[in-house]
Amino acid sequence: MKTWFSRFNLSGQFILLLVVTILTSQILNILFLMGDRKLSIRTDRYSMLIDDFTNAAKNLPPHTKEELPLLVSRLSNGRGNIFLSVENLAGLAWNPEEVPSYQKKLSESLSEALGRDIDAVLINRKVGRGQNIRPPLPHGRQSGDRPSNRGRPPPPGKLEAIASAEVSPGIWLNAMHPHTADATFTLGAFAATGITLLAAILAALVLTRRLVRPIQDLTSAAKRFGRGVNAQRVPVSGPHDIQVAIKAFNGMQENLERLIDTQRSTLRAVGHDLRTPITALRIRAEDIPAENGRDKFIATLDDLTVMTEEILRWAKDVSSVEEMAPVDLTALVSSISDDYSDQKKDVSFREFDDAIILNCRRVALRRAIVNLIDNALKYAGNARLSISVISEGYVDINVDDSGPGIPEEKLDAVLTPFTRLETSRNRNTGGIGLGLSIVQSVALGHGGALKLENLTPGFRATLHLPLAEQ
């Protein structure tokens, strides 16, 4: 089954895999690095908070409950306050998140500094809209706000660290450190990923071009050679593996061309050598008395002459020595139909509206169409020609008749040279079995195919040819 991935060419598949691989690795790399970075920043942040909080506890100014809340100092990074109040702000926070390890460190640091056991509280909390826990104003006056958990849930990423410790009975030392959680994907990370992707895609384009260009040249040469075009040797380029394949193809092409040339020469020699003795026998047969079977002997020689000419003509068509040239297909089929109509034969052509220019071997294609018409006339007495353009870039030349058709199990066999459905071996009724074989050879030589199909009723033979070079 053809998947969506297989629809891409080599360049597309390579670039797609490269992009997916780079994106995946970059995302995982960012996640790992950002995790380490967040851990490092959080460690530094809590360490700074513990140090500032301990120093403030050791150096508390004289105070009474009536003076509270009282601003003691600011955190060393300037983003938070340390102050005295009668409330445990960490215990009143909305949706707190405990930080056990650093809370223990804070308790130990305070206990050592103050010389007694202190159970400090250190939490993170999400900051919501309309937050009501605030540090006191710098002059010591209270804003009037009270702790509350009312309001909507906070937006993501907004955090605040709160530390609280009871330094005197009923008096709490509090620290509030607002901060924003570090983003996992930063602008720099996106920029680095984009630059990496761009560089990788450019490198992939250069590499795939180096890979694909020789493969495309090899493919085009193979298709041209398959249609009988004597293509030039494919330039040897690309990676070593592809160079080896190109050299092997060039060697195969040279060997096949030598073999074909040898066969053509042999057929021409055989044809010439056969014509001479057949002609000599034909002349000598005239001297044979009629009562000794002269007429039958001459008829046999005539059959042998026709068979020899047909075999040589078939070999010529298969060898595809004719050069390709642009041909108006509609005009060609119309002229063939008119020739048969002039001979008072039941052949018609359903005209195609537009001109179809086909790069083909005109003589060979005409012979193939004529063979199909002759078959239709022989077995049905009529032929109906039509042309249809297929959306995939192919054109069909259809020859329909109203005859009995061909048994389904013999549709493939009739394409084999010298295969005849008519078993009498009479040349006048069944030919010598080369007609459809010639048509198939012509179709294959054009990069197409011959299709045979039984209709209800009737029979259809279709030349399926590419409009452009395939």
What the block records as the tokens of 405 is: 């058709």
Q: How many degrees, rounded to 5, is the angle at CA 180 between CA 41 and CA 192?
A: 70
Helix (H, G, I), strand (E, B) or coil at 456: coil
pLDDT of residue 281: 81
Please tell me whether the peptide bond between 69 and the residue prior to it is cis, using omega within 30 degrees of 0: yes
In 104-120, which positions are buried (b, 16+ CB within 10 angstroms) versus exposed (e)? ebbbebbbebeeeebeb
Q: Distance (Å, rounded) from C-alpha 443 to C-alpha 465? A: 7
Is 382 exposed, middle or buried (CB count within 10 Å of its CB: 0-12, 13-18, 19+)? middle
Which domains, ranges and CATH numbers included, belong to the chain? Answer: 32-143+153-180 (no CATH), 213-321 (1.10.287.130), 322-466 (3.30.565.10)
pLDDT of residue 417: 65
DSSP state of 185: S
Residue whose token pair is 């595809």 = 320
The DSSP H or E segment spanning 387 is: strand 383-390
Q: Distance (Å, rounded) from C-alpha 378 to C-alpha 257? A: 37
Q: Distance (Å, rounded) from C-alpha 297 to C-alpha 294? A: 5
**Tens of pLDDT along the chain (470 residues)?**
456 656 666 667 777 777 777 777 767 766 665 555 555 556 677 888 888 888 888 888 887 777 788 888 888 777 788 888 888 888 777 677 878 888 888 889 888 888 888 888 888 877 654 444 444 444 444 443 433 333 344 444 467 888 898 888 888 899 888 765 555 456 666 677 778 778 877 877 777 777 778 888 888 887 777 666 666 788 888 777 788 888 888 888 888 778 767 776 776 677 667 777 888 887 888 778 877 777 888 888 877 777 777 666 666 655 556 778 889 999 999 999 999 999 999 999 988 777 788 888 888 899 889 989 998 998 889 999 999 887 778 899 999 999 888 888 887 777 776 666 554 444 455 555 567 878 888 888 888 889 999 988 899 999 999 886 54
Give the pairing type, strands 347-349 and 383-390: parallel
- Cβ neighbours of 448 (radius 10 Å): 22
pLDDT of residue 144: 39
Is 301 exposed, middle or buried (CB count within 10 Å of its CB: 0-12, 13-18, 19+)? middle
pLDDT of residue 425: 46
Nearest to 312 by CA among 280, 258, 275, 279: 275
C-alpha torsion sign, points 192, 197, 203, 206: negative
pLDDT of residue 143: 40
Is 465 exposed, middle or buried (CB count within 10 Å of its CB: 0-12, 13-18, 19+)? buried
Q: Distance (Å, rounded) from C-alpha 434 to C-alpha 8? A: 42
What the block records as the tokens of 122 is: 């250190």
Query: Can you name the residues that pair with 178 across neighbouring β-strands?
Result: 160
Q: Provide the whole-model pTM.
A: 0.49
- Cβ neighbours of 288 (radius 10 Å): 14
Q: Distance (Å, rounded) from C-alpha 178 to C-alpha 75? A: 11
Which residues have a Cβ under 8 Å from the Cβ of 168 and sit 6 or more positions away?
A: none
User: At what angle are helices 362-379 and 329-342 packed, to 10 degrees?
Assistant: 40
C-alpha torsion sign, points 44, 50, 51, 56: positive
Q: Distance (Å, rounded) from C-alpha 365 to C-alpha 227? A: 13
What the block records as the tokens of 364 is: 């060979």
What the block records as the tokens of 415 is: 């394409």
Number of residues that this document lists for the chain: 470
